[in-house]
């Protein structure tokens, strides 16, 4: 869940670190490897194949699902977004006045949220999600409120 890590007069840092998901996938990956190794010890081909398939599945889930996001908001109106996942590090900066606001979206049941950045581009408004997932946690709303307050403080329209 996204949380405000630093909130000072010279910068605001918002991070999303999916520790529970990452640790769960490591645990399931190790269990799948143990299943495969047990199958090798018992000479059970079916168990080896199941262990291998689950290991590959966990690896894909880890590669696609675990992503650390850091948004840094500066008092001059600029912002930097850093995304680190299994594919590597991606950095993106936003010039002053382009990062309008944060927006929380909900699914039809009204109980899940995601923090989204609204970015002014030459092609129109771009929506950049801070997380890949929806959550029922109120931390998304807190982050959105803080981004909106920052945008108002630095004079961004929205």
**Residues 137, 149 within the same domain:** yes
pLDDT at residue 81, as a whole number: 93
Q: Taking a C-beta distance cutoff of 8 angstroms, is the pair 65, 131 a contact?
A: no
Q: CATH number for the domain including 8?
A: 2.30.29
Q: Would 158 be classed as within a structural domain?
A: no
**Residues 131, 84 within the same domain:** yes
pLDDT at residue 148, as a whole number: 85
**Residues 84, 13 within the same domain:** yes
**Residues 76, 130 within the same domain:** yes
pLDDT at residue 110, as a whole number: 65
**Residues 43, 74 within the same domain:** no
Range of the domain at 81: 3-18+68-153
Per-residue burial over 42-81, b = 16 or more CB atoms within 10 Å of its CB, e = otherwise: eeeeebbeebeebbeebeeebeeebbebbbbbbeebbbeb
pLDDT at residue 20, as a whole number: 73
Q: Would 120 be classed as within a structural domain?
A: yes
**Residues 75, 147 within the same domain:** yes
DSSP string for residues in 54-117: HHHHHHHHHHHH-EEEEEEE-TTS-EEEEEEETTEEEEEEE-TTTEEEEEEEE-TTS--EEEEE
pLDDT at residue 103, as a whole number: 64
pLDDT in tens, 56-92: 888 887 777 778 899 999 998 899 999 988 778 999 9
- DSSP reduced 3-state for 128: strand
pLDDT tens for each residue of the chain, 158 residues long: 788 888 888 899 998 877 777 778 788 888 888 988 999 999 999 989 998 898 888 888 777 777 889 999 999 889 999 998 877 899 999 988 888 767 666 767 667 778 888 888 889 888 888 887 777 777 888 888 888 888 888 876 54
Q: Would 42 be classed as within a structural domain?
A: yes
Total structural domains within the chain: 2
**Residues 58, 74 within the same domain:** no
**Residues 74, 129 within the same domain:** yes
**Residues 136, 148 within the same domain:** yes
């Amino acid at each position: 869940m996204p949380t405000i890590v630093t909130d000072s007069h010279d910068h605001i840092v918002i991070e999303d670190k999916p520790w529970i998901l990452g640790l769960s996938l490591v645990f399931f990956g190790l269990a799948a490897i143990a299943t495969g190794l047990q199958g090798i010890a018992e000479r059970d081909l079916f168990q080896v194949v199941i262990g291998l398939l689950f290991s590959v599945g966990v690896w894909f889930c880890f590669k696609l699902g675990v992503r650390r996001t850091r948004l840094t908001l500066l008092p001059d109106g600029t912002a930097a977004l850093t995304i680190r996942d299994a594919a590597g590090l991606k950095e993106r900066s936003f010039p002053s006045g382009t990062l309008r606001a944060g927006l929380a979206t909900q699914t039809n049941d009204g109980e899940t949220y995601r923090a989204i950045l609204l970015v002014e581009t030459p092609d129109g408004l771009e929506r950049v999600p801070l997380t890949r997932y929806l959550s029922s946690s109120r931390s998304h709303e807190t982050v959105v409120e803080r981004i909106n307050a920052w945008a108002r403080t630095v004079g961004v329209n929205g």
